Structure 1
Amino acid sequence: MRAGGAATMSKRWYNEHRRDPWRRKAKSSGYRSRSAYKLIQCQEKFNLIRKGDTILDVGCHPGGWSQVAVELGGDEGRVIGIDIKPCEPIQGVELLVGDITDFGTQEKLMKLLNGEPINSIVSDISPGLTGQYEMDQAISLDLVCLVMDFSLPLLNKGGSFVTKVFQGRGIEAVVEAAKLNFSKVQRFSPVASRNSSSETYLVCKNKLPKPRVKDMDFSIRDFVESSLTEDGFVTDSTESESLDDGKKGFTLHRARDR
């Protein structure tokens, strides 16, 4: 792309960003990010969080969702936020710095919980994006699977889970995997999402006492990879800075292209 074209796109993005009503509304309301209204709209439609809930915010930086979670959980609630990026202190939030897919970080969270079950998990997590949509979507999907595999066993019976996903291959498999763990699962696009965005939110309610699977070692990540393979895609483990520190993600291509 020519320098002039890049400058034009940058200027257009800046003007749209400046005029964004959700950004202005978030700023005037004291929220750290416009995405706070995405969680608010999920809550208004699905009533995911109740007063007194213990809430885990995965990928909490810069803190907009955690701020909303504190309001929804009330004085008797508890909010734990975790992100690989350090977050400025948020009143009413216990913050952990670390990669949720890293065993050491998971141990820190388990120690902090000390056996207390979680009532609601909210996640607006996104890996570092490369600008190559198919790769970004696949890495993001893999990250969501890893988060679900770790966090869902910590979620109390009847609990809720909401996460951002990007439209593309594998989404239906994630939905099917979620239905094995929850009685109500659907996709939802908040009004606060940008019109140009390919993101949607997977909203899961009423966690089942046990997953609807016979295999005790059931993994959502393995389930999704298997489904993609059955659909004619090959999942390749690839190192990517998008998952930080060279962690493994997967990319997709048609089996016949190998």
Structure 2
Amino acid sequence: MATRIDNKKLTKSSRAWIKEHIDDHYVQKAQKDGYRARAAYKLLEINEKTNLITKGATVVDLGSAPGSWSQVASKLVGEKGTLIASDILAMDALADVTFIQGDFREAEVFDRIMREVGNKQVNVVLSDMAPNTAGNSAVDQPRMIYLCELAVEFALATLPSGGALIMKVFEGVGMQELRQQMQKDFSKVRSIKPAASRARSKEIFWIATK
């Protein structure tokens, strides 16, 4: 049985967040369109602008749970494409998506991902990963930069020339240093702030092509 939220016991900021979430256009749209999270529209807009995820492509979605990016990407690659999703958290099954639970930094998990790739080449690596935020940028930002570095390492290890990384980043300390390093390893790094990203959010998305 669903538990009723007692608004009287919530802080003012918590009540405001709940109201904003319920009233959010993209939350309502995601529920209507059958996406697991509003983040789906961020990837849809990014791909409309870049056209990196195409029919028949092979895509790896890192930190995929709850699965909205995998939902979008699997439709974009179509029946002849391959979508491999991975997360340390469990994720409910999706049609035409191979999910591998575990830490992709571990050799066993990485090898399982690459076995699914098989003789194909990875065309796009996705990362919508973010840490569990504590509300303290001195703690949250280094954690985010670390996750970004992991995604970059995975992309560099798997992408051929012409491949691309689409990655969420938080604006803040360490961001410019990370971008400068990526510009040495990728031919181009561009930024996109999708309309579905809340205006106050520090998140932006980098699209890096090899």
Please give the TM-score of this superposition, normalised by the length of structure 1: 0.75
**Counterpart in 2 of 1:185?**
189
For the residues of structure 2 that align with 1:201 and 1:42, how far apart are their CA atoms? 8
Match of 1:72 among 71, 76, 99: 76
**Counterpart in 1 of 2:154?**
150
Change (3 A) 1:84 1:147: same
Alignment of structure 1 residues 1-258 onto 2, 5 Å: 7-205=11-209, 207=210
Q: Contact 1:175–1:186 at 8 Å: present in 2 too?
A: no
For the residues of structure 1 that align with 2:104 and 2:86, how far apart are their CA atoms? 7
**Over alpha carbons, which structure has the higher Rg?**
1
Report the Cα offset of residue 47 of structure 1: 1.4
SS of 1:33 mapped into structure 2: coil
For the residues of structure 2 that align with 1:129 and 1:78, how far apart are their CA atoms? 32
For the residues of structure 1 that align with 2:155 and 2:163, how far apart are their CA atoms? 12
SS of 1:110 mapped into structure 2: helix
Q: Contact 1:60–1:82 at 8 Å: present in 2 too?
A: yes
For the residues of structure 2 that align with 1:5 and 1:37, how far apart are their CA atoms? 33
Contiguous gaps of at least 5 residues in structure 2: 1-7
For the residues of structure 2 that align with 1:6 and 1:18, how far apart are their CA atoms? 16
Report the Cα offset of residue 133 of structure 1: 1.5
Q: Contact 1:58–1:121 at 8 Å: present in 2 too?
A: yes
For the residues of structure 2 that align with 1:33 and 1:137, how far apart are their CA atoms? 23
Identity of aligned residues (%): 35
For the residues of structure 1 that align with 2:183 and 2:76, how far apart are their CA atoms? 25
After superposition, the CA RMSD in angstroms is 1.6
Which segments of structure 1 move beyond 6 Å, counting only runs of 4 or more?
Answer: none
For the residues of structure 1 that align with 2:26 and 2:154, how far apart are their CA atoms? 32
* Residue type at the aligned position of 2:111: E
Report the Cα offset of residue 117 of structure 1: 1.7
Deviations 1:137-164 (CA, angstroms, capped at 9, x unpaired): 1111011102211332211221111100
* Residue type at the aligned position of 1:74: G
Contiguous gaps of at least 5 residues in structure 1: 208-258
Q: Contact 2:58–2:117 at 8 Å: present in 1 too?
A: no
* Residue type at the aligned position of 1:130: A
Please give the TM-score of this superposition, normalised by the length of structure 2: 0.91
For the residues of structure 2 that align with 1:175 and 1:90, how far apart are their CA atoms? 33
* Residue type at the aligned position of 2:39: S
Q: Contact 2:155–2:165 at 8 Å: present in 1 too?
A: no
